[in-house]
Chain A
């Protein structure tokens, strides 16, 4: 059993997880209503990893994060304002990237988020660079790269983990293994049972953790961050989790075996944390219900606001290309 977090931390995590959940569901609806264009990748079911990661990041110290296009949850958990994100989803001028990034390209350096990368594996090499800055400038900062279970199969992943291990960079490689790389089951595309098994190839620690238990994930990331800051190099963490939705907007996830989703729903990360808090006398059903309502309302209010926001000026299409 992982160490219990403080009640304030738990409350914050619960609140944020609810916000992420409602936000993702609202985004799904907005896609179906054709308000949001393109595609999106939802993290419903994986919220615990986002909160556990964010609780270990200190942007003021210089900690940085790269993650994948399934990054809405990470951005919100790190503290990106909901307004920034929702406006960006809709391509509005007030989005975090002035509407030029969209769902797959969220950046907010205020909270340490370098970017949510739309190319599989591209974030890890960049995380190394941020870790290199910390190492050379001796800031004590760490850089965390979050990726999915499909990523270790791409060359850049290997190059990056190898380099970080060789240079002992203050980096943490955090895999969200949600069992599917796009539409393919993990086991169909990887020769080792666990992503963490690959750590031995680089002579770095490899840790597997229950990705639905926010406190458990928090504990292993905390250890990895301390290990990195002490100059020992990177850790490979594999959080076993599950995405309730398909890979992207157009994927109904028909490839999942019957009953799989239902089994995972029993271990919903929000419910797990809420149950623990209730058991510890920190939360009542009424409080939880009103937290849900508040989160839903906030998401709805921000959505209305974002819908009314203006699009970027057309001239801005040629701005921010070169410094």
Chain B
């Protein structure tokens, strides 16, 4: 059994009001799931379950004011006994699992040492519940953390600026990486390894009652419903899933694309363009994909307003075209950049693009290869069934071109039905910056260059 107690929600809080229960006795609860709403001196917060299990009993009724530390409920759980008690060596004190009560008292020396080592005081565990946290306590914690912040006397990880930048881009805390370089420095390779490695699960994923699961499925429905059993069975079906840890790359993609959709009002123009003639003269050495890159660059030259970035209220137009290409990798999506693409011939673009894509696949891109894109092209033509799709703008750029499969389709030409090789282009543009006519001009320019293409 684990007690659910009223935590201290801020300095000086002595009592709090339980507003409502979000779970009923007998409900399965997962760690981190809200159990109740509680009101402190200044805030109303959701009280989260600190262990998984089943809400066993409720001891305090809604709309009751009780002192801090009062037991509000009890959770009955299978994993309770095995819950870790000590801070982990590879994670910060933040993940200490039993932070039920916030620490009330800490000695000044302990506080200073904790701050020097970047230990979040609010998240210190209650290992020392009931007494003041002392210097020894914090030093013990620092010692436990030491391997992770190798090489740093000040608690700051040592790393070259470029390595720091890489880590920041992937939202990796250098302090969590064991440095393998001289004097414990975190090297570029260390960070790259961390990028590849799925993030350590913050909350271990476990079904509510793993041991019971198979049996429950096979158990015939009881004749007389036992109230405690039915909800568990439903819970088990519903929670039969596996959490996939997100790689840092995936997290970065999630963050950026969400930001893009939230911040930039997208609008779209699309058209079906005829590739038949161009493909007749297209040298094999160039290939359709690189033809698309080349035509995009030519169209951008004609409609430079789309070769731009919009950053914190500032619009920048670029002299050169740095074309980013969406490349799918097993663990995510990456957009290497063809810098100065406006200077290249079709075969120049082809060579450079092939080289970039192959380095992307071999994971050998340099930071520069991913920087400075001014427009992006996304091509799903490799999947022949795709007619068209819309892409999300790659911020801070203001446009992205999505291209579907280039294949034969029926087309009406001069009142006659013909079989032509076509593809659908969809341009997503940021309406804060780009208006419809500009987008239309882009498609028009793309088509003009496509029809004029002479190999």
Q: Classify A-B as touching or not with yes or no (CB < 8 A).
A: no
Q: CB within 8 Å of B: which residues of A?
A: none
